[in-house]
Amino acid sequence: MKPDPAAVMKNGAPVRMSGLLQEGDVLRITVRDESSSENIIPAPVPFDIVFEDSDLLVISKPSGVAIHPAVSHPANTLANGIALYFKEQGIPYVFRCINRLDRDTTGLLIAAKNKVSASILERDLRLREIHRTYLAIAEGLLPEKGTVNAPVGRKSSSLIERCIDWENGDTAVTHFRRLRYFPLCTLPDTGEEEIPLSGFRPAAAPAQGKADLPMLSLAELHLETGRTHQIRVHMAHIGHPLLGDTLYNPEGLP
Catalytic annotation, residues: 102
CB 68 within 8 A of CB 50: no
What residues contact 235, with CB distance under 8 A and at least 6 apart? 136, 138, 148, 174, 176, 219, 241, 242
Secondary structure (H, E, C), 27-87: EEECCCCCCCCCCCCCCCCCCEEEEECCCEEEEEECCCCCCCCCCCCCCCCHHHHHHHHHH
The distance from CA 169 to its chain's CA centroid, rounded to whole angstroms, is 19
172/221 Cα distance (integer angstroms): 13
Candidates 64, 60, 65, 62; CA nearest to 109 is: 60
- Residue 210's alpha-carbon distances to 84, 179, 186, 207, in angstroms, are 53, 18, 16, 6
Q: In whole angstroms, what is the distance from residue 35 CA to residue 90 CA? A: 11
